[in-house]
């Protein structure tokens, strides 16, 4: 029987960062969601390193870690919560793999929620890309329409110039005379 987890999507979304051009989650955030200590999560990962290739999980470089800390973590030392060392970060595939090494009903249920959020984010990005492509197509069409309208006006101007030639004015006028 699966455990019912009620974590709002926004909570999970706020814990997804962009590092090395990948959407990732930090080990301490995952540990918090799973209801375990960060050191336990890291220990389980280290025991099962063959399950976590570089595209599933990596450790932040010192530079990435300092940059991330300065952006997202307060300088209050009591809030460091295991941030003395560069954290492991997990891609979507790495998060999916975590449920197999943690192997608790909560870990499985939390993973399902996280994977659904990753899927929603990917779908939103795909939808946004589709909208952008459609807008570009409309812009091209409008540009072509503008060129065609200019061409029509140029032809009308030429036609008006031909109608205003002097030979046209020398013709015998038709109509009533006063």
**What's the CATH code of the domain at 63?**
3.10.260
**Domain identity same for 44 and 120:** yes
Whole-model pTM: value is 0.60
- Is 38 a member of any domain? yes
Low-confidence ranges of the chain (pLDDT < 70): 1-5, 71-83, 165-171
- For 112, the domain range is 9-131
**Domain identity same for 127 and 149:** no
Structure tokens that stand for 73 in this block: 């973590």
- What is the DSSP track for 98-134? HHHHH--HHHHHHHHHHHHHHHHHHHHHHHHHHHHHH
**Domain identity same for 108 and 65:** yes
Task: List the one residue out of 85, 82, 108, 86 whose CA is nearest residue 95.
Answer: 108
Q: In what order do the strands lie in the sheet with 57-59?
A: 16-19, 22-26, 88-90, 57-59
**Domain identity same for 101 and 155:** no
Predicted pLDDT of residue 119: 86
pLDDT digits (tens, 9 = 90+) for 46-66: 999 999 999 999 988 888 888
**Domain identity same for 119 and 161:** no
Count of structural domains within the chain: 2
Structure tokens that stand for 126 in this block: 């795909």
Predicted pLDDT of residue 165: 64
Q: How far is CA 83 from CA 23, 39, 65, 144, 151, in A?
A: 20, 11, 9, 57, 66
Predicted pLDDT of residue 3: 56
Predicted pLDDT of residue 57: 92
């Amino acid at each position: 029987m699966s455990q019912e987890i009620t974590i709002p999507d926004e909570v999970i979304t706020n814990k997804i960062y962009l590092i090395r051009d990948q959407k990732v989650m930090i080990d301490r955030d995952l540990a918090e969601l799973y209801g375990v200590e960060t050191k336990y999560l890291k220990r389980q990962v280290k025991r099962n390193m063959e399950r976590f290739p570089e595209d599933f999980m990596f450790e932040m470089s010192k530079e990435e870690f300092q940059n991330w800390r300065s952006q997202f973590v307060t300088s209050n030392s009591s809030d460091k919560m295991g941030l003395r060392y560069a954290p492991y970060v997990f891609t979507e595939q790495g998060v999916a793999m975590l449920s197999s090494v943690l192997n608790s009903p909560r870990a499985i249920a939390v993973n399902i929620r996280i994977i659904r959020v990753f899927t929603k984010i990917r779908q939103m990005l795909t939808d946004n890309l589709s909208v952008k492509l459609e807008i570009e197509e409309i812009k091209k069409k409008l540009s072509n329409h503008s060129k065609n309208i200019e061409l029509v006006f140029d032809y009308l101007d030429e036609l008006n110039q031909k109608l205003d030639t002097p030979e046209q004015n020398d013709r015998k006028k038709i109509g009533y005379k006063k």
